[in-house]
Amino acid sequence: GGTLTLTNTTVSENTAGTEGGGGIYNYYGGTLTLTNSTVSGNTASRGGGIGNWGGTLTLTNSTVSGNTANDNAGGIFNYNSGTMTLTNSTVSENTAGGNGGGIGNSGSSTMTLTNSTVSGNTAGTEGGGIYNASASANLSFSTLTNNQATGTSSVGGGILIDSGTVKLKGVILANNTSGSGSGPECSGSLTSQGYNLIKSNTDCGFTRQTTDILNQDPALGALADNGGPTQTHLPAAGSPVLDKVP
């Protein structure tokens, strides 16, 4: 039930046990706010960087990178009716032995990603970038790329939707991989709200909007400093995603 606010702060190289949250653990009723901050190189059983158990978590202009979960959710674990909001933030190069290399969102939780990047994360089983189970996720104007689910029968390299509601608007979902080769970008059912680029919609069920782009390469550059608060992927000249959102 506590309140913690971190600004211009780095939380790194810490270790937690079975409850999760290698860098920070926000328990039921707690309020955790990170601004212009970095959570990196932490290790836990679940939620290598941050564990948000039924609390309220807000990240703005922040980075969660290089964290490890032996079980699920390498970067952030949002669970047990947690509420998580990421804005202008990056979740990258995190690793989970189980599901959700970058983010795990489960147990009647709610997640909102806006103008954010989920890149280069690895799951040992499902959901290289994001694993969503019995939870709600709203992704807007965000990028999921270069994530991988490495299990031999795994799907959902970018995002695995086990259950719950996932909505995408203005999202780039491309260049993710799965161990089975099926559902490399996404697996499960989602709702398109338009202006998305999904490089491969194999095993990804949704009703295509007229503004959605399928089966095209967004021509993204490497994760780098492109002038924003965190590292991002800059589309190259001629990319099909340029100037598409009014």
Q: Which position has the higher pLDDT, 222 or 203?
A: 222
pLDDT of residue 38: 98
C-beta atoms surrounding 188 within 10 Å: 22
Instruction: Determine the average pLDDT of the residues in 193-200.
Output: 96
Mean of per-residue pLDDT scores for the chain = 96
Q: Which of 174, 114, 183 is nearest to 149 (CA)?
A: 183
Q: Which of 92, 39, 35, 104 is nearest to 233 (CA)?
A: 92
18: pLDDT strictly greater than 90? no
pLDDT of residue 244: 87
pLDDT in tens, 232-244: 999 999 999 999 8
Instruction: Determine the average pLDDT of the residues in 198-205.
Output: 92
Q: Which of 158, 161, 136, 159 is nearest to 145 (CA)?
A: 158
Residue 156 and residue 170 in contact, taking contact as beta carbons nearer than 8 Å: no
- Find all residues with CB under 8 Å of 84, minimum gap 6, and list them: 52, 56, 57, 58, 59, 76, 78, 105, 109, 110, 111, 112
Total-model pTM? 0.97
pLDDT of residue 117: 98
Q: In what order do the strands lie in the sheet with 172-174?
A: 10-12, 38-40, 63-65, 90-92, 117-119, 143-145, 172-174, 197-198, 213-214
Residue type present at position 219: A
pLDDT of residue 108: 97
pLDDT of residue 19: 74
pLDDT in tens, 108-132: 999 999 999 999 999 999 999 999 9
pLDDT of residue 214: 96
Residue 185 and residue 161 in contact, taking contact as beta carbons nearer than 8 Å: no
